[in-house]
Amino acid sequence: MSDLSYLYQEILLEHNSKPRNYRILNDATVSIEGHNPLCGDKYTLQIKLEKDTIVDIGFQGSGCAISKASTSMLTERVKGKTTSEAFSVFDAFHMMVTEPDKDIDHDLLEDLELLSGVSGYPARIKCAILSWHALREAIEGESGSVSTE
């Protein structure tokens, strides 16, 4: 195993054993469910929005290691950010997994780049991007649920 894939595994496992912001948000202003029936990933994102800032975010649910690590990283990455910053990260992440040959903004991605390995596997892309779609829908004021199918 190469050093990079070893690091990738370690961080993925670490997010799975200790997911960040894995909790109920009692003062959430918006809540949304994301479902990937192909894999069985199902998460509820709860966000506290104040004007254009994501002041707090939490998630609950279950799924595979990739979806859980991606959701955990998402909450870390967008907490405290404005919604437009979150959209920029969404765009960079989306491009990284769907069009990895394009010019990607690495500064925006930070440790999310560890998930770039999914780009060759369409089924895994759905796992990685599930909560990102849910986040975008939630910010755009859509409550309810999103599905990858």
**Nearest-approach distance from CB 13 to Zn ion, in angstroms:** 15
Three-class DSSP category at 41: strand
Q: Which is nearer to Zn ion, 40 or 80 (CB)?
A: 40
Told to check if 127 binds Zn ion by CB under 5 A, we report yes
131 binds Zn ion (CB under 5 A): no
Give the list of residues 6+ apart from residue 28 with CB closer than 8 angstroms, or none: 46, 47, 48, 56, 58
Residue 64 CB, nearest approach to Zn ion (Å): 3
For 143: left if phi > 0, alpha if psi spans -120 to 50, otherwise beta; the answer is beta
| Burial (0-12, 13-18, 19+ Cβ within 10 Å), 24 | exposed
Give yes or no for residue 148 binding Zn ion (CB under 5 A).
no
**Residue indicated by tokens 């990607």:** 104
Helices 83-98 and 122-139 cross at an angle (nearest 10°) of 170
- Least separation in angstroms between residue 66's CB and Zn ion is 6
Task: Count residues near Zn ion (CB under 5 A).
Answer: 6
Least CB distance to Zn ion at residue 67 (A): 4
Write the binding mask 37 to 66 for Zn ion: x where contact by CB under 5 A, - elsewhere.
Answer: --x-x---------------------xx--
Shortest separation between residue 118's beta carbon and Zn ion, angstroms: 10
How far is it, in rounded angstroms, from Cα 136 to Cα 73?
Answer: 15
* 67 binds Zn ion, rule: CB under 5 A: yes
Interacting residues with Zn ion (CB under 5 A): 39, 41, 63-64, 67, 127
